[in-house]
């Protein structure tokens, strides 16, 4: 069917959506070589018109008014697009009809959710519909979980090229970050805790290392994520919990399962934050573990959560322009050869903006362009970034989004 535009940016008036629009304007202005066309959508025409002015978007850009609470407005806007990119979150609160409509209408979809329980529900409810319509649905296209998912793909390709075998274990170690939190991301955390209060089974699902695996998938050897300080001899350093591990590790394991276990049925993957090696490293790792545990515990207790909500950024608020511009991230990777330690491989991922917003918005935008423009090895269904867009993204992200994957000698 003829579509009015390739990409619909839903949530363009929000904190991250505005940055997505900025990236698309810079890389895919009218008449761009790939001929990618895009429109902006939100619930308020006034705000969309303001966005066009403040971001100096092309005056001819299509503005689509759609409200998550009014499915008929959503259906009209979605049916005009080849791909929906949405930053309207918390997704469990606002996103279910968007996914359902994309699956029904055969429109590709990408988002920034980190809400594992919601992804599980969407997969279970709409997988068959998406398979039939041809819609490729790809969650977690931001800092969670692109560097993790693509980082593992990158290391596994390297291990295969160099040693003709898959790595049996990949370790992700967050080594250096500069950035900030937005109210929208915090709102997603609060919303997940509120839902789990009504349905405590959600905590069990979220804690399951294989929570996102396809039904009947093989349960490998991975256990819970790191919660305490540990000494990691492979990095000769202390490690602390990594805040996004509970999302990223599930996505990487799902990628392995969806691709038919190319990395082995007992492939292992874990994420942690890298600290120095001596006593200062231990103290830092312990402090981080305590901070992480305290924040987690406070989120689960309603009066303490309300206290946090009062003092932390509100939806629509986030890091300053200079925090975004001067932010960055650096992640170290180790891919273990199954039998010969001399053949282990080390890699690094870096990003040139703050991870949560500056880099995230570019990664998400490039996922949408890849869904609209690039050949994909898969048909309709719920995929991960690596399983649906792996090869495209390993080219697009360094070229267009300032995210680099390197081998470390
Ligand atoms: N995974 C990652 O790496 C990552 C990074 C950043 C953000 N995120 C996630 O991305 C999401 C957005 O974050 P953010 O900081 O950009 O949030 P935000 O600034 O609060 O933006 C939310 C957007 O949703 C829109 N919206 C709210 N209710 C709506 C409705 N009923 N119908 C249509 N639109 C509606 C808002 O519209 P108005 O402008 O009209 O209010 C706004 O545009 C959050 O879920 C966050 O957790 C993930």
For the chain, the average pLDDT equals: 94
Helices 302-311 and 279-300, axial angle in degrees (round to 10)? 110
Q: Tell me: pLDDT of 303 over 90.
A: no
First CA to last CA across the chain, in angstroms? Answer: 49
Q: Which atom of ligand 1 is nearest to the CA of 12?
A: 43
Burial of 408 (0-12, 13-18, 19+ CB in 10 A): exposed
Instruction: Look up residue 274 and give its two tokens.
Output: 């890298």
Q: What is the pLDDT of residues 305-333, one digit of tens each?
A: 888 888 888 877 788 999 999 999 999 99
Q: Which residues are registered as beta bridge partners of 8?
A: 39, 84
Q: Tell me: pLDDT of 407 over 90.
A: yes
Going by C-alpha positions, the residue among 398, 391, 392 that lies closest to residue 369 is: 392
| Average pLDDT of span 371-385 | 96
Cis peptide before 90 (omega within 30 of 0): yes
Q: Tell me: pLDDT of 27 over 80.
A: yes
285 lines ligand 1 (CB under 6 A): no
Q: Hey, which of 8, 10, 11, 49 would you mutate to test ligand 1's pocket, going by the most ligand atoms within 8 Å of its Cβ?
A: 11
Instruction: Look up residue 109 and give its two tokens.
Output: 């979809």
What are the residues whose beta carbons fall under 8 Å from the beta carbon of 83, sequence distance 6 or more?
A: 6, 7, 8, 107, 108, 109, 110, 368, 371, 372
Pick the more confident residue, 172 or 306. Answer: 172
Q: Cα separation of 152 and 386, whole Å?
A: 9
What are the residues whose beta carbons fall under 8 Å from the beta carbon of 316, sequence distance 6 or more?
A: 14, 15, 183, 184
Q: Tell me: pLDDT of 226 over 70.
A: yes
Dihedral (CA of 397, 399, 404, 408) sign: positive
| pLDDT at residue 286, rounded to an integer | 95
Q: Which CATH class is domain 5-143+358-403?
A: alpha beta
189 lines ligand 1 (CB under 6 A): no
Q: What is the pLDDT of residues 118-161, one digit of tens each?
A: 999 999 999 999 999 999 999 999 999 999 999 999 999 999 99
Q: Which residues are registered as beta bridge partners of 137?
A: 109, 382
Q: Which atom of ligand 1 is nearest to the CA of 140?
A: 1
| pLDDT at residue 31, rounded to an integer | 66
87 lines ligand 1 (CB under 6 A): yes
Reported as a pLDDT band with limits 50, 70 and 90, residue 258 is very high
| pLDDT at residue 34, rounded to an integer | 74
| Average pLDDT of span 290-315 | 86
Instruction: Look up residue 196 and give its two tokens.
Output: 């789990």
Nearest alpha carbon, ligand 1 atom 43: 14
pTM of the entire predicted model: 0.96
Is residue 212 within 8 A of residue 119, CB to CB? The reply is: yes
What are the residues whose beta carbons fall under 8 Å from the beta carbon of 92, sequence distance 6 or more?
A: 115, 117, 118, 191, 192, 195
Q: Tell me: pLDDT of 12 over 70.
A: yes
| pLDDT at residue 167, rounded to an integer | 98
94 lines ligand 1 (CB under 6 A): yes
Find the Cα–Cα–Cα–Cα dihedral 269, 96, 91, 405, rounded to 10°: 40
Domain boundaries, the chain: 5-143+358-403, 146-353
Q: What is the pLDDT of residues 181-218, one digit of tens each?
A: 777 777 888 888 888 888 888 889 999 999 999 998 89
Q: For 379, left (φ over 0), alpha (ψ -120 to 50), or beta? A: beta
Residue 113 CA to ligand 1 center (angstroms) comes to: 10
């Amino acid at each position: 069917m003829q579509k009015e535009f390739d990409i619909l940016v839903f949530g363009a008036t929000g904190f991250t959506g505005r940055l997505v629009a900025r990236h698309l304007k810079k890389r895919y202005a009218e008449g761009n070589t790939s001929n990618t066309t895009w429109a902006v959508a939100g619930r308020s025409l006034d705000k969309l018109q303001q966005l066009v002015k403040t971001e100096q978007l092309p005056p001819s850009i299509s503005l689509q008014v759609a409200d998550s609470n009014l499915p008929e407005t959503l259906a009209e806007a979605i049916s005009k697009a080849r791909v929906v990119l949405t930053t309207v979150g918390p997704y469990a609160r606002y996103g279910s009809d968007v996914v359902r409509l994309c699956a029904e209408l055969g429109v590709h979809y990408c988002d920034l959710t980190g809400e594992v329980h919601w992804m599980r529900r969407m997969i279970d409810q709409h997988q068959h519909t998406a398979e039939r319509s041809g819609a490729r649905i790809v969650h977690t296209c931001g800092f969670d979980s692109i560097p993790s998912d693509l980082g593992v793909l990158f290391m596994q390709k390297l291990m295969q090229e160099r040693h003709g075998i898959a790595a049996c274990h990949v370790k992700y170690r967050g080594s250096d970050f500069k950035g900030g939190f937005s109210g929208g991301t915090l709102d997603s955390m609060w919303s997940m805790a509120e839902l789990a209060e009504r349905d405590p089974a959600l905590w069990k699902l979220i804690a399951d290392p294989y929570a996102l695996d396809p039904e009947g998938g093989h349960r490998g050897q991975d256990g819970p994520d790191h919660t305490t300080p540990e000494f990691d001899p492979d990095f000769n350093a202390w490690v602390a919990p990594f805040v996004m591990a509970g999302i990223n590790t599930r996505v990487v394991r799902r990628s392995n399962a969806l691709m038919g276990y190319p990395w082995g049925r007992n492939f292992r993957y874990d994420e942690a934050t890298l600290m120095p090696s001596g006593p200062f490293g231990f103290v830092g790792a312990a402090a981080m573990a305590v901070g992480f545990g305290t924040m987690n515990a406070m989120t689960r207790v309603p009066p303490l959560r309300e206290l946090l909500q009062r003092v932390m950024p509100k939806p629509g608020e986030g890091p300053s322009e200079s925090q975004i511009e001067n932010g960055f991230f650096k992640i170290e990777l180790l891919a273990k050869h199954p039998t010969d330690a001399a053949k282990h491989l080390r890699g690094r991922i870096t990003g040139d903006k703050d991870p949560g917003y500056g880099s995230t918005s570019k990664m998400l935008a490039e996922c949408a362009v890849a869904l609209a423009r690039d050949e994909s090895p898969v048909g309709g269904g719920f995929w991960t970034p690596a399983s649906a867009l792996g090869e495209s993204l390993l080219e697009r992200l360094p070229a267009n989004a300032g995210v680099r994957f390197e081998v470390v000698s």
